[in-house]
Structure 1
Amino acid sequence: MVNRSTNSNILSSASRFRVRKFSPSAITLYTLFIFAFSIFLFFFYLRNLILVQDQDSPTLPSFSLQSRSHQVPELHVYDKQLWDSPFSHGLRSCVKPTSKYKGAQGFDRYLTVRSNGGLNQMRTGISDMVAVAYIMNATLVIPQLDKRSFWQDTSVFSDIFDELHFIESLRGDIRVVKELPKNLEAVPRARKHFTSWSSVGYYREMTSLWNEYQVIHVAKSDSRLANNDLPLDIQRLRCRAMYRALQFSPPIENLGKDYHILHF
């Protein structure tokens, strides 16, 4: 015989734990509320992040000719603000040479370069050629920029980059001159297409060319040096050339600053 009162009590207890069903309209309102709250949190944290960056962001150094004497201190201040920033995520600058590093001394040997490709490709190639000039113990003549492959314009190095800053920044690494000495303009040159992605050992072998020539002309600058398995100081020299020596010319720097002020 079934005890009906007992069954009734069991059903009553089970009904207490029955999952409550929401109507479709309630579910829609709940979803919209969660979505709106998420959007609010996103913009709130984004606003705080922008404010912190504005407070911590450094003033870019000016490389105008009028402020040459303050150029290096400003650059050090900018580096410190950049790498000590809480947003650096523990990364550090890679441009400082080691204690064993010594600059090149071969001032009577000259390396001329024709940089090819787009602007970024030329910048990378020029930084490679700075390292190659160091390895081969040579003086680097200011590179010629590609005027035919892509750009079809007449821009020279000084139109795009700060030429004096480039020369001065690399003074402790290699000697850089604006042009060949007059007495070497007509001498025979070794014209080389250096093998792409070459190691330091390859360029040390190429120093045998100095036995016959005083000037070596490099027809292309892109991808001339390997990316891996290079001595630490060679890699850091490439970084110095790319991120410190190759600054844009003052008119381009000023144009960028004016654009930033107008639009931000």
Structure 2
Amino acid sequence: MVNRGSSHYRASLTSRFLPRKASPYAITLYIISLFAFSVFIFLFNTRNILEEDEQKPNFSGEFQSTQIPEEELWDAPFSYGLQSCIKRTAKYKAAHGSDRYITVRSNGGLNQMRTGISDMVAVARIMNATLVVPQLDKRSFWKDSSTFSDIFDELHFIESLKRDVRIVKELPKNLEAVPRARKHFTSWSGVGYYEEMKQLWKEYQVIHVAKSDSRLANNNLPLDIQRLRCRALYHALRFSPPIESLGKVLSMHAGDTTEAG
């Protein structure tokens, strides 16, 4: 038996909630409205972009007309609140003389040599050794015959680090012929590794390091050792007087060129 009343009721609900078929006129009106709205949005965004371009400075013309004062041009860059962390902590102890020596050949380009030398200063401190002024690499493709004193201020290097590490220009004569431990220190090693290397002092008085690329920067170094690296890299390794003089001459010429421009 069919319940006609319920069937009629469902049909009325379906017709109420299902949309009726749109007429061609309504579809055309909808498309025109959508197109007009899109054109309006496009024109509005284009206007904003043009206004922003007009407000931007003309960098080419600005650089041509603006002259930077010489004292600002050659002054130190902005620190943005950062301070150099090179001061020794209260627990830091001054270095004492040692009859154990480390010799090293610094490899790579100039920047790599500087970083490697600062690492070897820290290694000498950790191993309680006297550091002989490093030899610069003369065997690579650079074919540069420059010595340490040709590039860096040797006396300043030794004097500025005297509280940290004992540094000498040359190995003592009586040790030139003694057997040496020749090592390639493992890169990225921490303080514990170099503490273990102290065992070499039981058999050798001189350790020769074939390359200075130790890469100590990110190995959880004690604060004072990390600051020692900074002192060596940014204060002790100063260019030699002839290079410093040449740099001043070049800066003067650059200043004259700036004023003429």
Question: Normalised by the size of structure 2, how large is the TM-score?
Answer: 0.72
**Residue 142 (structure 1) aligned to one of 133, 136, 146:** 133
| 1:54 matches 2:72 | yes
**Residue 259 (structure 1) aligned to one of 245, 250, 253:** 250
CA contact (8 A) 1:105 1:138 kept: no
The corresponding residue for 1:211 is 202
Note the 1:15-54 alignment, pairs <5 A: 35=53, 37-39=55-57, 50-51=68-69, 54=72
1:52-91 Cα offsets, whole Å, 9 max, x none, are 9629936xxxxxxxxxxxxxxxxxxxxxxxxxxx932110
Greater C-alpha Rg: 2
CA contact (8 A) 2:188 2:219 kept: no
CA contact (8 A) 1:104 1:138 kept: no
Q: Distance in 2 between matches of 1:237 and 1:216?
A: 21
Consecutive unaligned residues of structure 2, counting only runs of 5 or more, are 1-45, 256-261
CA contact (8 A) 1:118 1:150 kept: no
Shift of 1:150: 3.0
| 1:102 matches 2:120 | no
Shift of 1:50: 4.1
Consecutive unaligned residues of structure 1, counting only runs of 5 or more, are 1-27, 59-85
**Residue 200 (structure 1) aligned to one of 188, 191, 199:** 191
CA contact (8 A) 2:185 2:214 kept: no
1:169-191 Cα offsets, whole Å, 9 max, x none, are 10110110000011111111111
User: 30-39 or 121-130: which moved more?
Assistant: 30-39
Q: Distance in 1 between matches of 2:56 and 2:196?
A: 63
1:210-229 Cα offsets, whole Å, 9 max, x none, are 11111110011013535231
CA contact (8 A) 2:133 2:168 kept: yes
Q: Distance in 2 between matches of 1:31 and 1:200?
A: 58
Q: Distance in 2 between matches of 1:213 and 1:195?
A: 19
Consecutive aligned runs of 4 or more in structure 1 exceeding 3 Å deviation = 30-37, 40-53
Aligned length: 214
Note the 1:1-264 alignment, pairs <5 A: 35=53, 37-39=55-57, 50-51=68-69, 54=72, 57=75, 87-225=78-216, 227-264=218-255
Q: Distance in 2 between matches of 1:43 and 1:173?
A: 52
Q: Distance in 1 between matches of 2:246 and 2:227?
A: 30
1:97-121 Cα offsets, whole Å, 9 max, x none, are 1111113324211000011111111
| Residues 36 and 236 of structure 1: CA distance in aligned 2, closer, same or farther (over 3 Å) | same
Q: Over aligned residue pairs, what C-alpha RMSD do you find?
A: 3.3
Identity %: 70
Q: Distance in 1 between matches of 2:68 and 2:92?
A: 40
